[in-house]
Amino acid sequence: MARTPNASRQTTLLLTTLLESPAEWRYGYGISQLTGLKSGTLYPLLMRLEEQGFLESKWQETHRPGGPPRHVYRLTQAGRAFARERRVLSLAIPRRLGRAT
C-alpha cells in the first residue's frame, strides 16, 4: 500500500504551525524554534511543500546591517486549505500513548 503524501506527523506539525499566522512570512530557523523540528527534517519538508504548491518562498533582507538575506516561507491559498484538512484529520485519528496496557 502506497504511503499518503504529506501524511507524516512532522508535516502536520509544520502545516499547523504555519496555519496559526498564514499570511506571515517565516524563516526556517524561526519555524524550527516553533516546531522543534531539526533542519534535516524541516528543510526537506519546506522544499517538498513548496514544490507541491502549498508554500511560497522568497528572499528577504534582514533588519541587521550587513546580515545576509533569509529565505522565508508562508502558506499559499492551497496550502491553507490543505493545512486545515491535515489539522482536522490529525484530531480525528487517536494517537498511541506511551505504553500499551
Q: What is the mean pLDDT of residues 71-82?
A: 96
pLDDT at 96: 45
Which among 57, 101, 55, 62 has a CA at the least distance from the CA of 82?
55
In this prediction the pTM is 0.81
Domain count, the chain: 1
Residue 4 lies in a domain: no
Residue 2 lies in a domain: no
Residue 99 lies in a domain: no
**Whole domain around residue 38: which residue ranges?**
9-92
What percentage of the chain has pLDDT greater than the value 90?
66
pLDDT at 93: 55
- CA distances for 96 relative to 5, 82, 85, angstroms: 21, 24, 21
Report the distance separating Cα 59 and Cα 91, nearest Å. Answer: 34
The tens digit of pLDDT for each residue in 15-62 reads: 999 999 999 999 999 999 999 999 999 999 999 999 999 999 999 988
Residue 79 lies in a domain: yes
pLDDT at 82: 93
